[in-house]
Amino acid sequence: MKTGSQADLIRELKSEHGISCSRNAISKLVIANDPKIVKTPKNKIKIEESCELLVANNFGSRTGPHKPKEEPAPETIDPEIEKKFEDNDDGEEGEGIPPLLESNRMIAYQKARKAKVEADILNEKTIMIDEVTDKSFNLWRQVRDGIQAIKDRCSLKLEAAKTTHEIEQILHEETNRILSSIVSGYETMDDDSLKKKLAKRLTS
């Protein structure tokens, strides 16, 4: 019978059983009077008996070649099962989309959407929101400044006007000047043409 200290037990586990463990782990077992640590009446550790009990209880970690953990295969849904959940050609509803299928579809949609946005930016079909925000602000600031300046620009003309028609004509001409500075020829455009012109102004 071989007896020894905690260090002797650790060396025995390492050399004879290929098991690695820390001094702290063994010490905790000793302090707790764990039955896997077999002792003599003089409080020496019985090395062989203790090793057998520790090995039998899968104590410590093996020092052999490490095998990388295999990643689980992604969950898939059989095409026949998927078809069961979809609406049929007669317009009848299926049994509802199962959570896994719905999740896979959402992931695929998000990837496709991201790819499209990246392609649009590359092809200059999409611009950054900050750029549009800055251009919109500058555009409407121009309109605001023009409206606020009407009084100063037109006060003398309005005082000299003799009829209501002349006053309306002065205000109409000034308003037309302000709006034409934003989109020239706006008064002759339909809504669709005006939208395209504004969009071009904000994205060019």
pLDDT tens per residue, range 84-123: 545 444 444 445 555 555 677 778 778 888 877 777 656 6
pLDDT of residue 73: 54
71 part of a folded domain:
no
Q: For residues 114 and 133, state if they share a domain.
A: no
Q: For residues 146 and 97, state if they share a domain.
A: no
Q: For residues 105 and 144, state if they share a domain.
A: no
67 part of a folded domain:
no
pLDDT of residue 70: 56
In whole angstroms, what is the distance from residue 93 CA to residue 84 CA? 10
% of the chain exceeding 70 in pLDDT: 73
Enclosing H/E stretch for 48: helix 47-56
- How many domains, in total, are found in the chain? 3
Q: Judge whether residue 140 has pLDDT over 70.
A: yes
For the chain, give the mean pLDDT. Answer: 77
Q: Judge whether residue 67 has pLDDT over 90.
A: no
68 part of a folded domain:
no
CA 155 to mean position of chain CA atoms: 57
Q: For residues 116 and 136, state if they share a domain.
A: no
- Longest Cα–Cα distance in the chain: 128
Q: Judge whether residue 166 has pLDDT over 90.
A: yes
Q: For residues 112 and 136, state if they share a domain.
A: no
190 part of a folded domain:
yes
74 part of a folded domain:
no
- Look at 3-17, 57-71, 112-126, 177-191 and tell me which has the smallest mean pLDDT: 57-71
Residue bearing the bigger pLDDT, 190 or 102: 190
- Which of 192, 194, 154, 185 lies closest to 172 in space, CA to CA? 154
Q: Which residue has the tokens 């707790």?
A: 32
Q: Which domain holds residue 198?
A: 129-203
Q: For residues 135 and 118, state if they share a domain.
A: no
Identity at 3, one-letter amino acid code: T
Q: For residues 101 and 155, state if they share a domain.
A: no
Q: For residues 133 and 183, state if they share a domain.
A: yes
Q: For residues 142 and 186, state if they share a domain.
A: yes
- Which of 67, 71, 59 lies closest to 19 in space, CA to CA? 59
Q: For residues 137 and 192, state if they share a domain.
A: yes
Q: For residues 148 and 180, state if they share a domain.
A: yes
Query: Under a CB-based contact definition with an 8 Å cutoff, are residues 45 and 37 in contact?
Result: yes
Q: What's the pLDDT band for 127 if we cut at 50, 70, 90?
A: low
Q: For residues 118 and 135, state if they share a domain.
A: no
Q: What residues pair up with 20 in beta bridges, in sequence order?
A: 61
